[in-house]
Amino acid sequence: MQIDFTKKLLAWNRLHNKRSMPWKGESDPYKIWLSEIILQQTRVEQGIAYYNKFILAYPSVDDLAKAPEKEILKNWEGLGYYNRCRNLITTAKKIVNLYGSRFPSTYKEILALPGIGSYTASAIASFAFGLPYAVVDGNVERVLARYFGISTPVGTSEGKKIFPVIANELLFKKDPGAFNQAIMDFGATICKPQQPLCTICVQSKNCQACKKAWTDRLPVKLKAPEKKQRWMYYFIIKAGKNKIWIRERTGNDIWKNLYEFILYETGKLIPQNSICNFPFLKEQFGNQGFKIEYISSLYYQKLTHQSITSQFILLNKPVHKINGYQPVSLNKLKEFPFPKLIADYIKILPSQLSW
């Protein structure tokens, strides 16, 4: 059955796989690595634009390693999961300094790079260097779970052992890159999460899920933990002529090294008619007689384990010094990397200002 699966998969890939992506067939390990990091937690459709932007801005690992961190984070803006970007920067510098700008060519060395796990290491090793390591992503887990009727939940410690073993047994050792690309494309285009194309699937004859009508049951996934809810209220305060206050986020919280306006975070949603009476304003700035000029609608951003709700409040009076914040002119805001939620608001900010 295993030999039959691999033969049919490779034949399908050769004759019917029309899936096109700019990094497909690429052998440059830098470009493969870049595409794989971008595609972590990102849809292919969204990732393509960022991949093309990064290749244009940083054609080589040397270009990426030399670029200012703020600039790279700005180019990453909107992709989310910013630890990926920080690891990208760290790894680029390590490849330049430790390996003389040559991407390491063994699985063990690749796996040791920051931000690279077994899946990404297998992808780079097989696509760039032809090494026999099977990739196991969500597409691959779905194909294997359905074909072999595996009820072990994906993402569990047991599942993380079972699926790589099966994938490596199926792997076509003579061309592991072609096999890995084929099985991922097969999961994305044929064995889809919803409404898989079983009627035209070359594997349907031996697929347990197809024969037993289990495609809606497999793969088994554990229920995701409930997300933490956070409410962030951002005050936009003038810092002089055409300038406002912003700061860089530090520490180990979300959005590290990104920028934000003056923040007040609370554990609950505050009714709009109560925002005018925020104790926060008096505590921070004393009796300055602030008046609210504008309160935005609610903005939302969902992260892996958190859901953020935000509102933006424009105040009428300038403040000439705020510890921990820096004054930035309005026309310079676009040079700073912001979380997507704030970046979306900045697009309409000029139309709200009456300064």
Residues whose CB is less than 8 angstroms from the CB of residue 66 and which lie 6 or more positions away in sequence, other chains included: none
Q: Looking at the structure, do residues 172 and 236 belong to the same domain, yes or no?
A: no
Which of the listed residues 211, 237, 261 is the one where a domain comes to its end?
Answer: 211
Q: Which residue segment(s) compose the domain that 325 sits in?
A: 228-352
Please tell me the predicted confidence (pLDDT) of residue 355.
Answer: 60
Active-site pick, 36, 77, 141, 260: 36
Q: Over range 170-183, report the average pLDDT.
A: 96
Which of 150, 184, 211 is where one domain is finished?
Answer: 211
Task: Judge whether 36 counts as a catalytic residue.
Answer: yes
76 and 161 share a domain?
A: yes
User: What angle do the packed helices 69-76 and 83-99 form, to 10 degrees?
Assistant: 140
Nearest CA-CA partner of 246 in 339, 131, 144, 173: 339
Domain of 324, CATH number, reads: 3.90.79.10
Residue 222 in any domain: the answer is no
Quote the pLDDT of residue 1.
62
Lowest mean pLDDT among 123-127, 178-182, 249-253: 249-253
CB 31 within 8 A of CB 61: no
Q: How far is Cα 161 from Cα 28, in angstroms, rounded to an integer?
A: 29
Note whether residue 113 is domain-resident.
yes
pTM, two decimals, is 0.86
Write the pLDDT tens digit of every residue in 202-214. 999 999 999 999 9
Tell me how many domains the chain contains: 2
Give the domain CATH number at 45.
Answer: 1.10.340.30
- Please check whether residues 169 and 236 belong to one and the same domain: no
Q: Are residues 21 and 112 in the same domain?
A: yes
Q: Which residue, 176, 211, 246, sits at the end of a domain?
A: 211
| 280 neighbors 244 (Cβ within 8 angstroms) | no
| 3-class SS of residue 268 | coil
Q: What is the pLDDT of residues 212-241, one digit of tens each?
A: 999 999 999 988 788 899 999 999 998 888
Q: Which two tokens stand for residue 105?
A: 């060519």
Do 92 and 207 belong together in one domain?
Answer: yes
For residues 184-191, average pLDDT: 97
| Chain centroid offset of residue 42 CA | 5
Q: Nearest CA to 236 among 122, 64, 352, 101?
A: 352
